[in-house]
Structure 1
Amino acid sequence: MTDTLFLSSADVDDLAEPADYVTVVRDAYRQIGEGAPAEPRTKLLNREPPGMLTTYAAVLPETGAMGGYTYSAGFGAEDAWFMTPLFDAESGEPLALLDGASMNPFKTGAAGAVAVDALAREDASEIAIIGSGAQARGQLATTATVRAFEAVRVFSPTAENREAFAGEFADRLDADVSAVASAGEALAGADVVITATTASDPVIDNAAVEPGTHVTAMGQYSPGKNELPPELVARATYVPDLCARATQDAGSFLAALESGLIDEDHVAAELGEVIAGTHPGRTSDDEVTVFDSGGTGVETVAAAHMLYERASEAGRGQTIDFAPASEALTGR
Structure 2
Amino acid sequence: MSAPLLVIGAEDVERLLGYEDCIALMRKAMKALARGETRQPLRNIIDLQAGNAFGVMPGAMLGGTFGAKIVSVYPGNFALGKHSHQGIVVLFEPESGAPVAIIDGSIVTAIRTAAASAAATEALARPGPSRLAILGYGEQAWRHAAAIRHVRPITGVSVWGRSAEQAEQFSLRVREELGLDAEAAPDVARAVRGADIICTTTPAAEPILALADVQPGAHINSVGSSRAGPAEIANDLVAASRFIADYRVGVLAQGAEFLNAKSAGLVDDAHIVGEIGEVFDGTLAGRTGDAEITIYKSLGHIVQDLAAGWHVFEQARAKGLGTTAPF
TM-score (norm 1): 0.90
Q: How does 1:51-130 map to 2 (within 5 A)?
A: 51-61=52-62, 64-74=64-74, 80-130=85-135
Q: Which residue of 1 aligns with 2:246?
A: 241
Q: Is the 8 A contact 2:210 2:236 kept in 1?
A: no
Q: How far apart are residue 131 of structure 1 and its match?
A: 0.3
Separation of aligned partners in 2, 1:273 and 1:57: 22
Q: How far apart are residue 103 of structure 1 and its match?
A: 2.5
Give SS of 2:292's match: coil
- Greater CA drift, 7-16 or 246-255: 7-16
Write out per-residue CA displacement over residues 46-93 of structure 1, whole angstroms, 9 at most, x where no aligned residue.
55576432122343347x322231112359989543110112244433
- Greater CA drift, 49-58 or 160-169: 49-58
Change (3 A) 1:47 1:71: closer
Write out per-residue CA displacement over residues 197-239 of structure 1, whole angstroms, 9 at most, x where no aligned residue.
0111111121111111100010121221110001111111111
Aligned residue identity for 1:261:
L
Structure 2 gaps of 5+ residues are 79-83
Write out per-residue CA displacement over residues 114-157 of structure 1, whole angstroms, 9 at most, x where no aligned residue.
11011111125111100000011111111111101111111111
Q: Does 1:205 align with 2:206?
A: no
Q: How does 1:41-56 map to 2 (within 5 A)?
A: 41-46=42-47, 51-56=52-57
Q: How far apart are residue 94 of structure 1 and its match?
A: 1.9
Q: Which residue of 1 aligns with 2:196?
A: 191
Separation of aligned partners in 2, 1:279 and 1:75: 36
Q: Which residue of 2 aligns with 1:8?
A: 9
Change (3 A) 1:183 1:75: closer
Write out per-residue CA displacement over residues 257-280 of structure 1, whole angstroms, 9 at most, x where no aligned residue.
110000111111111111111111
Q: Percentage identity across aligned positions?
A: 31
Change (3 A) 1:4 1:125: same
Larger radius of gyration: 1
Count of equivalent residues: 321
Separation of aligned partners in 2, 1:180 and 1:129: 10
Change (3 A) 1:212 1:90: farther
Q: Is the 8 A contact 1:49 1:76 kept in 2?
A: no
Separation of aligned partners in 1, 2:34 and 2:75: 36
Structure 1 gaps of 5+ residues are 323-332
TM-score (norm 2): 0.91
Q: How does 1:113-152 map to 2 (within 5 A)?
A: 113-152=118-157
Aligned-residue CA RMSD in angstroms? Answer: 2.2
Change (3 A) 1:277 1:162: same
Q: Is the 8 A contact 1:31 1:276 kept in 2?
A: no
